[in-house]
Amino acid sequence: MAIGIIRFPGTNCDRDVYKAIELAGGEAEYIWWNNEDLTDYDGIVIPCGFSYGDYLRAGAIASNTPVVEGV
């Protein structure tokens, strides 16, 4: 099972999520914020942290990225 881990600038714990997916028997792969093709993945994980650092309305900024359009 291929699981994509979305990375935004400022994301953290993505390596922990990668390892957890591997330990559960999945195939983890990082997906950058500017990738809009998610057809190769069986599932998507958005790790914790502040997308785009600690800017005000960081989630609103992230919501306008190509990868979120693909989700």
Q: Which of 26, 5, 27, 24 is nearest to 14 (CA)?
A: 5
Predicted TM-score (pTM) of this structure: 0.78
Start-to-end C-alpha separation, the chain = 17
Q: Which two tokens stand for residue 43?
A: 């599932």
* Element spanning 46, H or E: none
In which residue ranges of the chain is pLDDT below 50? none
pLDDT at 51: 64
Q: Which domain holds residue 6?
A: 2-70
Q: What is the side-by-side strand order in the sheet with 43-45?
A: 27-32, 2-7, 43-45
Amino acid 52: pLDDT: 61
The domain that holds 46 is classified in CATH as: 3.40.50
Q: What is the pLDDT of residue 29?
A: 97
Which of these, 53, 57, 44, lies nearest to 8 by C-alpha position? Answer: 53
